[in-house]
Amino acid sequence: MIFVVFLFGENEERAMHISEGVLSAPVLISGAVIAAGGVGIGIRKLDYDRIPQVAVLSSAFFVASLVHVPIGPSSVHLILNGLLGLLLGWTAFPAILIALFLQAVLFQFGGVTTLGVNTVTMALPAVLCYLVFRKGVMSEQPKVSMVFSFSCGAGAVFFAGILVALALMSTGKSFSAAAKLIVVAHIPVMAIEGIITMLCVRFLKKVKPEVLEVTHD
């Protein structure tokens, strides 16, 4: 895998985790406030029986960032926020917060001060895609369900890129340039996560459909 990464080695990386010291205080604070709101809603909606599910998906998110996708113009990694949103709804907020905190502390990805902003950029698209695509994913027709599952996985990555570009706007970067750079770099990730989400939904529908049917709102 390292070998492949080196093949594509001459390009910069464009990733979702924003490091410390890049953003200004107002952006950091508003990120933290929105994240706190989302986590609050998520915790209120968290019922006892689903705590293990949240933990398992949180650790999947935690590890996903270590998986490089060496396809395309630059090396990026998996995010899996669409899958988390679809299976957890608003509870994706606390799940992603915990995973991001541990990534910041153990891997030095992102940072503790940017925890709020990073949580929002990844968990908000998760919830958004959950709200938009859930009905379609639950469709009886397999094809419709597949299309919506794919869109959920890919769309969450897309919106995360848009939000990162929005946050970086405060550093004086032009939004369109930053957004283009991030979104283009993540096209392979969108495709892969769309497929992962599709496979997961198909598997769950066969094996344990009630996991998908639970509403989180």
How far the first Cα of the chain sits from its last, in Å, is 41
Tally of CB atoms within 10 A around 18: 24
| Apex 182 CA angle, 177 and 183, nearest 5 | 100
Residue with tokens 């950091």: 28
Which residue number, 104 or 141, has a Cβ lying nearer to other proteins?
104
Cβ–Cβ under 8 Å, residues 117 and 168: no
By CB under 8 A, the residues from 85 to 114 that bind other proteins are: 98-99, 102-103, 106-109
- Shortest reach from residue 131's CB to other proteins, in Å: 22
What does the per-residue mask of binding to other proteins show for 52-71, with x meaning CB under 8 A? xxxxxxxxx-xxxxxxx-x-
Smallest distance from the beta carbon of 190 to other proteins, in angstroms? 17
Judged by beta carbon, residue 135 or residue 203, the one nearer other proteins is: 203
> Angle of helix 142-169 relative to helix 115-137, nearest 10 degrees?
160
Residues that bind other proteins (CB under 8 A): 1-2, 5-6, 9-15, 17-23, 48-60, 62-68, 70, 75-78, 98-99, 102-103, 106-109, 164, 167-168, 178, 181-182, 203-204, 207-208, 211
